[in-house]
A and B are shown apart, each in its own frame.
Chain A
Amino acid sequence: MMWLTWRQFRAQAITAAAALAAFAILLAATGPHLASLYTTSKVASCHGYACDAATSAFYSKLAGLDTVVYLLGIGLILIAPAIIGIFWGAPLIARELETRTFNLAWTQGVTRTQWLAVKLALTGLAAMAVTEELSLIYAWWANPISNAIRLNTGSAPQLFSQGPFSSVIFASHGVTPLGYAAFAFALGTAAGVMTRRAVPAMAITLAVFAAVQLAMPLAVRPHLVSPSHTTASIEAADQVYASLTADVVPGHPDAWILSSQALNAAGQPVSTIPAACNNANPSGEKGGTTQITPGQCMQSRGYREAISYLPTSRYWSLQVIETGIFLALALALAWFSFWRLGRRRA
């Protein structure tokens, strides 16, 4: 059964290996240059505010190609599970049902369960391996940029302001790509078993996978790990627009802010900037001689910001839990395929 699975999977495996190799060559060709830029910009040895200058210098030296590879890599890792689900998962069983070759396969000397188990296990492991491999070599390549993002506490170009918890970064690093690959593959297979036609199964796979990938960061991920709570200086937390929402958690620059609430001196929640501070502005007309921002104004009146957040120390818990959820979904879908094929008996 291993032989047949491999023989049927061979062409797809070679395509995937070639794509992976091409991407690896691209990374290997541009990676050392990126690392040397990082070194010469002295980002590694910076302290405190010097880091902002060092990282800015580093960003400004990045060539167009580096930026393209940076984005391309994230895009590839995010899209790889969908491609695997569509082109490996959906046709895996559907094609056999469509061309009626299951008549041949299921009347040889192996049981249907064994046939499906080997097909799912072998192709599924390959799906996970390819995606995770892609993620790992990319993480190696992007390491200087990831470090720079972590060290930059001031304003950075929009492109390089995405911390480890941002939707696309979180989903393209760590072990999550592995979970997505397993899920997308099992989803494609199950869709194929259900529709018995490869093309509709491909469409269903794409639609469901895209929906799940949108729902995950918006609706599910914020609730997976219990957050930390802190009450911080409003001036330090609400840095950008004095919008009464926290932009950073003081002391935890890379933390993921799940929710924040401005509180007045009495500890009551407020949703508008107090009138007295509303007109406060750097030109300082109202405050007399002192230039004062709305943030400084509220700070002086005892306003604070209550924040619930995930510190980077919980990054890996979240990674493992999310990956576990997708692996569990993959197993459930695989079980469905077994059940359905066994029950329908063709």
Chain B
Amino acid sequence: MSAVIETVGLGKQYRRQWALADCTLSIPAGHVVGLVGPNGAGKTTLLNLAVGLLAPDAGTIEVLGGIPAAGRAQLARVGFLAQDSPAYAGLSVADHLELGAHLNRGWDAGLARGRVERLDLDLGQKAGTLSGGQRAQLALTLAIAKRPELLILDEPVASLDPLARREFLQDLMEAAAEQELSVVLSSHLIADLERVCDYLIVLVGSRVRVAGPVDELLATHHVLSGPRRDPATLPDGLEVISASHTDVQTTLLVRTSGPVLDPAWTVSQVGLEDLVLAYLSQASTRRRRDNHHHLEVQK
């Protein structure tokens, strides 16, 4: 499985602050990859580094085997939809298509026209007067019609209403399937990612907490509930992601490759959202503890 994005020790610094530090990850090709993490996790920085809008201050990043934005050929292979899908307010929809045609050698004019017609965008309308959803669709059209191999989207639906969000993602899925695109999109809306992604990366504080195909993640994570007990007494091979206790009961989210055989536990399926939240809160409790120098045995 080849990687569309491969980073080693990647870092980006703004003044003294590291927005992304020591990030090592590999994003496989042929997937719709969801990149999820809390605000400030470095998602936008990582994606901007991947399209070459930013240059790294530490480490390396390769996209489709090349250096981001290194030249016209590399630029042509990667489509990008920036946060809030910026567009030239004074230029019309038709102008934007013209812009795409003039700036991209591989421009597919038929595809662009077809999409705009299907999406019911008015060619003469100025981009500044489009709704958020329409502007996102226009920006996606630009990114797709340049016929990239990899499409990168930074929080594409964050500012859209639920209906526009659903339409946008549906449309994205169709385009990705038709053109056999690899897609990487970031979001903090896990429900949206669940609908479209078949691969998930949870990024917290520049670190990959968990990464893998969605069905595999779901198959290897279980919720265990049973009489209260110390998680440290669990057998090897079970990794506890989160634990909660009442006076009499313990509920655990565990990761394991094999089945859970202990009859004391009731085993149930975990949803993607709960799974992601468990990893996010695991990170935040760890961070809190580090901050307070408060020692506590978790396992």
By beta carbon, the residue of chain A nearest B12 is A345
By beta carbon, the residue of chain A nearest B106 is A109
Is A110 within 8 A of B69, CB to CB?
no
Question: Does chain A have a CB within 8 A of B105?
Answer: yes
Residues on B with C-beta less than 8 A from A345 are: 52-55
Question: Does chain B have a CB within 8 A of A7?
Answer: yes
Is B99 within 8 A of A106, CB to CB?
no
Q: How far is the CA of A101 from the CA of B55 in the complex (A)?
A: 18
Question: Does chain A have a CB within 8 A of B192?
Answer: no
Segment 75-116 of B: residues with Cβ below 8 Å from A: 75-76, 78-80, 82-84, 86-91, 95, 98-100, 102-106
Is B89 within 8 A of A99, CB to CB?
yes
Is A109 within 8 A of B105, CB to CB?
yes
Q: How far is the CA of A343 from the CA of B139 in the complex (A)?
A: 26
Residues on A with C-beta less than 8 A from B91 are: 7-8
Residues on A with C-beta less than 8 A from B95 are: 7
Residues on A with C-beta less than 8 A from B103 are: 1, 4, 105, 108-110
Question: Does chain B have a CB within 8 A of A243?
Answer: no
Nearest CB of chain A from residue B42's CB, rounded to whole Å: 16
**Interface size, B (range):** 35 or more
Is B99 within 8 A of A7, CB to CB?
yes
Chain B's interface: helix, strand, loop or mixed, by majority? loop
Nearest CB of chain B from residue A109's CB, rounded to whole Å: 4
Given contacts A4-B103, A346-B48, contact A108 B75 (CB under 8 A): yes
**Interface size, A (range):** 20 to 34
Is A111 within 8 A of B104, CB to CB?
no
Is A108 within 8 A of B100, CB to CB?
yes
Q: Given B53, B72, B98, B143, which contacts A110 in the complex, CB threshold below 8 Å?
A: B72
Q: How far is the CA of A8 from the CA of B103 in the complex (A)?
A: 14
By beta carbon, the residue of chain B nearest A110 is B103
Is B106 within 8 A of A107, CB to CB?
no
Q: How far is the CA of A131 from the CA of B95 in the complex (A)?
A: 30
Is B146 within 8 A of A112, CB to CB?
no
Q: Given A3, A99, A109, which contacts B146 in the complex, CB threshold below 8 Å?
A: A109
Is B71 within 8 A of A103, CB to CB?
no
By beta carbon, the residue of chain A nearest B100 is A108
Question: Does chain B have a CB within 8 A of A100?
Answer: yes
Beyond known contacts A109-B72, A109-B105: 16 more, CB 8 A cutoff? A2-B102, A7-B91, A7-B95, A7-B98, A100-B84, A101-B86, A101-B87, A102-B53, A104-B88, A104-B142, A107-B52, A107-B79, A107-B82, A107-B143, A108-B103, A345-B55
Q: Which residue numbers of A lie inside 8 Å of B, CB to CB?
A: 1-4, 7-8, 99-112, 343, 345-346
